[in-house]
Structure 1
Amino acid sequence: GRFKKEVVLDGQSYLLLIRDEGSAPPDYQFAQWVDAVIFVFSLESQESIEIALRYYEQMAKYRNINEIPVMMVATQVNILGVIIAD
Structure 2
Amino acid sequence: MSFKESFTLHGENLVKKVKELIEEGNVRKISISNKEGKELMSFPLTIGVVGVLLAPILAAVGAAAAFIGECTITVEREAPEEEKKEL
Fold shared per TM-score above 0.5: no
Compare relative contact order (CA 8 Å, sep 6+) and give the higher one, 1 or 2: 2
Larger radius of gyration: 1
State TM-score, norm by structure 2: 0.31
More helix by share: 2
More strand by share: 2
